[in-house]
Structure 1
């Protein structure tokens, strides 16, 4: 049975890096980072762009589900509210798919350290720290399996994911 693996978490927690490691471990997989669907300039968040992004994500995920070449579909995105997860899932044909939902979580100090490294490397801007830290608690209320990545590497997180998938 095909597996659809959702991996969410606040900005900077390591979703993309963990998913890249997970790709190395799972057979016949495809990876979609929801941020790729937001890669626009100028970056505008409003009802129209949010709707477009969700629609694009669902289109791609449904096509991956339909394609016989893939057994594992890895999808990561911030998804800090249950309604986002539910909206995406409701638009997918998952009748013959096993859906696995995970949240990568980290303590405040670990998250801040990761984000500060990203800022120093020019990957993020300083304003992300406050926004990301504010969202930490939101992930505790989601209907997902939590993986604390505070003190582990992305490869270790990917290995934990494999055992739970």
Structure 2
């Protein structure tokens, strides 16, 4: 059966790295990162830009769902509220596709350590730690399978997702 694999988590928890590793170990797939749809300068969050990004994400995923070449669509994004996840799923043409939703979670210490590394390499700004750690509790309330990545690598997280899919 064809699958949509949605991976959420707070900023810096390892969604993209896990998605890339998952892409290596499951067949015939495409990987999409919701952050690509927010990569704009200036970065502006308004009702208009939110609608645009959500439209773009749904359009991209639906195009890949319609393509016979793919058995798996892997999508990652922050997805910190159930309504965001539900609205996304409602916009997808997923007839005949199984939907699997995961949240990567972490303890605050491990997350802060990952983010400090990103800050040191210039990938992120210093204010990301407080903003990202503050979102951690939100993921417990989501209707998703939780994978604690505090002490595991993206390779291990991808393997756990693959095992869950079996």
Normalising by the smaller structure, the TM-score range is over 0.9
Which ranges in structure 2 are unaligned for 5 or more consecutive residues? Answer: none
**Aligned structure 1 segments of 4 or more residues deviating by more than 2 angstroms:** none
Aligned to 1:31: 31
Alignment of 1:11-90 (within 5 A): 11-90=11-90
CA RMSD of aligned residues (A): 0.4
Note the alpha carbon deviations across 1:37-88, whole angstroms, 9 max, x for none. 0010000001000000000000001011100000010000001000000111
Aligned length: 165
Aligned to 1:134: 134
1:145 pairs with 2:145: yes
SS in 2 for 1:104: strand
In 1, the alpha carbon distance for the partners of 2:161 and 2:49 equals 31
SS in 1 for 2:44: coil
Q: 1:9: how far off?
A: 0.2
Q: 1:94: how far off?
A: 1.1
In 2, the alpha carbon distance for the partners of 1:73 and 1:115 equals 27
Note the alpha carbon deviations across 1:101-140, whole angstroms, 9 max, x for none. 0000000000000000000010000000000000000000
In 2, the alpha carbon distance for the partners of 1:144 and 1:122 equals 31
Aligned to 2:161: 161
Alignment of 1:1-12 (within 5 A): 1-12=1-12
Which ranges in structure 1 are unaligned for 5 or more consecutive residues? Answer: none
SS in 2 for 1:135: helix
In 2, the alpha carbon distance for the partners of 1:79 and 1:120 equals 26
In 1, the alpha carbon distance for the partners of 2:41 and 2:2 equals 35
Q: 1:141: how far off?
A: 0.1
The alignment's TM-score, normalised by the length of structure 2, stands at 0.99
The alignment's TM-score, normalised by the length of structure 1, stands at 0.99
Q: 1:95: how far off?
A: 1.5
